A and B are shown apart, each in its own frame.
Chain A
Protein backbone atom coordinates (compact mmCIF):
# COMPACT_ATOMS: atom_id res chain seq x y z
CA UNK A 1 0.00 0.00 0.00
CA UNK A 2 1.59 3.23 -1.13
CA UNK A 3 1.02 6.42 0.82
CA UNK A 4 0.16 9.23 -1.54
CA UNK A 5 0.28 12.99 -1.11
CA UNK A 6 3.27 13.14 1.24
CA UNK A 7 6.26 15.44 0.87
CA UNK A 8 9.67 13.85 0.19
CA UNK A 9 11.83 12.88 3.19
CA UNK A 10 14.13 15.94 2.87
CA UNK A 11 11.14 18.25 3.44
CA UNK A 12 11.23 17.19 7.11
CA UNK A 13 14.53 19.09 7.47
CA UNK A 14 13.23 22.03 5.43
CA UNK A 15 10.27 22.14 7.84
CA UNK A 16 12.58 22.24 10.86
CA UNK A 17 14.60 25.06 9.24
CA UNK A 18 11.42 27.09 8.50
CA UNK A 19 10.20 26.63 12.06
CA UNK A 20 13.54 27.51 13.64
CA UNK A 21 14.04 30.59 11.42
CA UNK A 22 10.73 32.14 12.53
CA UNK A 23 11.76 32.12 16.24
CA UNK A 24 14.52 34.82 16.12
CA UNK A 25 12.28 36.97 13.89
CA UNK A 26 9.60 36.92 16.62
CA UNK A 27 12.14 37.49 19.42
CA UNK A 28 13.99 40.35 17.72
CA UNK A 29 11.10 41.97 15.82
CA UNK A 30 11.92 45.48 17.10
CA UNK A 31 15.66 45.19 16.30
CA UNK A 32 14.83 43.90 12.81
CA UNK A 33 12.86 47.07 12.18
CA UNK A 34 9.29 45.77 12.00
CA UNK A 35 6.79 48.49 12.75
CA UNK A 36 3.28 47.87 14.03
CA UNK A 37 1.83 51.36 13.73
CA UNK A 38 -1.62 51.99 12.26
CA UNK A 39 0.09 53.44 9.16
CA UNK A 40 1.92 50.15 8.55
CA UNK A 41 -1.31 48.18 9.04
CA UNK A 42 -2.92 50.34 6.37
CA UNK A 43 0.05 49.93 3.99
CA UNK A 44 -1.40 46.65 2.68
CA UNK A 45 0.54 43.75 1.19
CA UNK A 46 4.04 45.28 1.30
CA UNK A 47 3.53 47.03 4.65
CA UNK A 48 5.75 46.09 7.58
CA UNK A 49 2.79 44.62 9.49
CA UNK A 50 1.87 42.16 6.74
CA UNK A 51 5.51 41.28 6.03
CA UNK A 52 5.99 40.42 9.71
CA UNK A 53 2.92 38.19 9.55
CA UNK A 54 4.31 36.49 6.41
CA UNK A 55 7.73 35.71 7.89
CA UNK A 56 6.42 34.52 11.25
CA UNK A 57 2.99 32.86 11.14
CA UNK A 58 3.26 31.58 7.58
CA UNK A 59 6.86 30.40 7.99
CA UNK A 60 5.91 28.58 11.19
CA UNK A 61 2.86 26.98 9.57
CA UNK A 62 4.78 25.94 6.46
CA UNK A 63 7.46 24.43 8.71
CA UNK A 64 4.93 22.49 10.78
CA UNK A 65 3.04 21.21 7.72
CA UNK A 66 6.26 20.10 5.98
CA UNK A 67 7.52 18.38 9.14
CA UNK A 68 4.18 16.71 9.85
CA UNK A 69 3.47 15.43 6.36
CA UNK A 70 6.80 14.38 4.93
CA UNK A 71 7.69 10.76 4.27
CA UNK A 72 9.73 8.67 6.69
CA UNK A 73 13.08 7.25 5.54
CA UNK A 74 11.42 3.86 4.94
CA UNK A 75 7.74 4.41 4.32
CA UNK A 76 5.40 1.42 4.69
CA UNK A 77 1.79 0.53 5.43
CA UNK A 78 2.22 0.31 9.21
CA UNK A 79 3.68 3.83 9.35
CA UNK A 80 0.78 5.02 7.18
CA UNK A 81 -1.63 3.49 9.68
CA UNK A 82 0.15 5.11 12.64
CA UNK A 83 -0.05 8.42 10.80
CA UNK A 84 -3.79 8.04 10.19
CA UNK A 85 -4.44 7.05 13.83
CA UNK A 86 -2.44 10.01 15.11
CA UNK A 87 -4.23 12.38 12.75
CA UNK A 88 -7.63 11.14 13.91
CA UNK A 89 -6.69 11.53 17.59
CA UNK A 90 -5.15 14.94 16.96
CA UNK A 91 -8.39 16.16 15.38
CA UNK A 92 -10.48 14.73 18.24
CA UNK A 93 -8.23 16.19 20.94
CA UNK A 94 -7.90 19.61 19.37
CA UNK A 95 -11.66 19.91 18.86
CA UNK A 96 -12.37 18.77 22.42
CA UNK A 97 -9.89 21.42 23.65
CA UNK A 98 -11.45 24.02 21.36
CA UNK A 99 -15.01 23.24 22.47
CA UNK A 100 -14.12 23.24 26.18
CA UNK A 101 -12.08 26.44 25.97
CA UNK A 102 -14.75 28.26 23.94
CA UNK A 103 -17.46 27.07 26.35
CA UNK A 104 -15.51 28.49 29.29
CA UNK A 105 -14.76 31.81 27.58
CA UNK A 106 -17.07 34.75 28.02
CA UNK A 107 -14.73 37.40 26.65
CA UNK A 108 -14.68 38.03 22.88
CA UNK A 109 -10.96 38.89 22.74
CA UNK A 110 -10.09 35.62 24.52
CA UNK A 111 -12.28 33.70 22.08
CA UNK A 112 -10.39 35.32 19.19
CA UNK A 113 -7.05 34.34 20.78
CA UNK A 114 -8.27 30.76 21.17
CA UNK A 115 -9.17 30.67 17.47
CA UNK A 116 -5.68 32.00 16.66
CA UNK A 117 -4.12 29.25 18.75
CA UNK A 118 -6.17 26.72 16.86
CA UNK A 119 -4.24 27.57 13.70
CA UNK A 120 -1.32 25.45 14.88
CA UNK A 121 -2.51 23.40 17.89
CA UNK A 122 -3.99 20.47 15.86
CA UNK A 123 -0.74 20.18 13.86
CA UNK A 124 1.42 20.21 16.99
CA UNK A 125 -0.77 17.58 18.69
CA UNK A 126 -0.54 15.44 15.55
CA UNK A 127 3.26 15.75 15.38
CA UNK A 128 3.67 14.89 19.08
CA UNK A 129 1.31 11.87 18.85
CA UNK A 130 2.88 10.51 15.66
CA UNK A 131 6.46 10.96 16.89
CA UNK A 132 5.54 9.32 20.21
CA UNK A 133 4.04 6.30 18.43
CA UNK A 134 7.10 6.00 16.18
CA UNK A 135 9.41 6.25 19.19
CA UNK A 136 7.43 3.59 21.10
CA UNK A 137 7.58 1.32 18.06
CA UNK A 138 11.34 1.56 17.72
CA UNK A 139 11.78 1.09 21.47
CA UNK A 140 9.79 -2.17 21.35
CA UNK A 141 11.92 -3.28 18.41
CA UNK A 142 15.15 -2.54 20.30
CA UNK A 143 13.91 -4.42 23.39
CA UNK A 144 12.94 -7.33 21.17
CA UNK A 145 16.19 -7.35 19.16
CA UNK A 146 17.57 -10.76 18.36
Chain B
Protein backbone atom coordinates (compact mmCIF):
# COMPACT_ATOMS: atom_id res chain seq x y z
CA UNK B 1 0.00 0.00 0.00
CA UNK B 2 1.34 3.42 -0.87
CA UNK B 3 0.12 6.82 0.26
CA UNK B 4 0.01 10.46 -0.73
CA UNK B 5 0.42 11.93 2.74
CA UNK B 6 3.59 13.83 1.85
CA UNK B 7 1.88 15.43 -1.17
CA UNK B 8 -1.31 16.19 0.73
CA UNK B 9 0.73 17.76 3.53
CA UNK B 10 2.50 19.95 1.01
CA UNK B 11 -0.84 21.05 -0.46
CA UNK B 12 -2.22 21.83 3.00
CA UNK B 13 1.17 23.26 4.05
CA UNK B 14 1.47 21.42 7.36
CA UNK B 15 4.46 19.62 8.88
CA UNK B 16 4.60 16.02 10.13
CA UNK B 17 4.50 17.32 13.70
CA UNK B 18 1.36 19.41 13.03
CA UNK B 19 -0.42 16.49 11.36
CA UNK B 20 0.59 14.23 14.27
CA UNK B 21 -0.85 16.71 16.76
CA UNK B 22 -4.11 17.03 14.81
CA UNK B 23 -4.78 13.30 14.98
CA UNK B 24 -3.19 12.62 18.36
CA UNK B 25 -0.26 10.38 17.46
CA UNK B 26 3.52 10.79 17.68
CA UNK B 27 5.51 12.42 14.89
CA UNK B 28 7.44 9.18 14.46
CA UNK B 29 4.20 7.39 13.57
CA UNK B 30 3.39 9.87 10.79
CA UNK B 31 6.95 9.49 9.51
CA UNK B 32 6.78 5.68 9.43
CA UNK B 33 3.41 5.78 7.65
CA UNK B 34 4.72 8.27 5.06
CA UNK B 35 7.76 6.15 4.35
CA UNK B 36 5.67 2.97 4.08
CA UNK B 37 7.28 1.32 7.09
CA UNK B 38 4.01 1.11 9.01
CA UNK B 39 0.46 0.37 7.82
CA UNK B 40 -2.00 2.36 9.98
CA UNK B 41 -5.24 0.97 11.37
CA UNK B 42 -8.48 1.86 9.57
CA UNK B 43 -9.34 4.37 12.30
CA UNK B 44 -6.03 6.19 11.95
CA UNK B 45 -6.22 6.14 8.14
CA UNK B 46 -9.72 7.64 8.28
CA UNK B 47 -8.54 10.35 10.66
CA UNK B 48 -5.68 11.26 8.31
CA UNK B 49 -8.03 11.39 5.31
CA UNK B 50 -10.43 13.59 7.28
CA UNK B 51 -7.66 16.13 8.04
CA UNK B 52 -7.02 16.44 4.29
CA UNK B 53 -10.74 16.52 3.53
CA UNK B 54 -10.40 13.75 0.95
CA UNK B 55 -11.82 10.24 0.57
CA UNK B 56 -9.63 7.48 1.98
CA UNK B 57 -8.81 6.05 -1.47
CA UNK B 58 -7.22 9.33 -2.55
CA UNK B 59 -4.77 9.27 0.35
CA UNK B 60 -4.05 5.53 0.62
CA UNK B 61 -3.73 3.46 -2.55
CA UNK B 62 -3.59 -0.34 -2.80
CA UNK B 63 -0.72 -1.71 -4.86
CA UNK B 64 -0.38 -4.85 -6.98
CA UNK B 65 0.31 -7.76 -4.69
CA UNK B 66 -1.43 -6.29 -1.62
Contact = CB atoms under 8 A, between A and B. Distances in A.
Interface of A: 1, 72, 74, 76-79, 81, 134, 137-138, 140-141, 144-146
B32 A78 contact: yes
Interface in B1-42: 15-16, 20, 24-29, 31-35, 37-38, 40-41
A39 B14 CA distance: 70
A3 to B, nearest CB: 12
Interface of B: 15-16, 20, 24-29, 31-35, 37-38, 40-41, 43-44
Nearest to B20: A74
Given A76-B25, A81-B38, 6 more contacts: A72-B26, A78-B29, A141-B16, A141-B32, A145-B16, A146-B15
A141 B43 contact: no
Given A78-B38, A146-B15, A146-B16, A1 B28 contact: no
A138 B20 CA distance: 14
B41 A79 contact: no
Contacts of A144: 31, 34-35
Contacts of A138: 28
A141 B16 CA distance: 10
B26 A74 contact: yes
Contacts of B33: 78
Given A1-B43, A146-B15, A146-B16, A76 B29 contact: yes
Contacts of A74: 20, 24-26
Contact of A77 (B15, B16, B20, B44): B44
Contacts of B40: 77-78
A145 B35 CA distance: 12
B24 A76 contact: yes
23 contacts: A1-B41, A74-B20, A74-B24, A74-B25, A76-B26, A77-B40, A78-B25, A78-B28, A78-B29, A78-B33, A79-B26, A79-B29, A81-B38, A137-B28, A137-B31, A138-B28, A140-B32, A140-B37, A141-B27, A141-B28, A141-B31, A141-B32, A146-B16
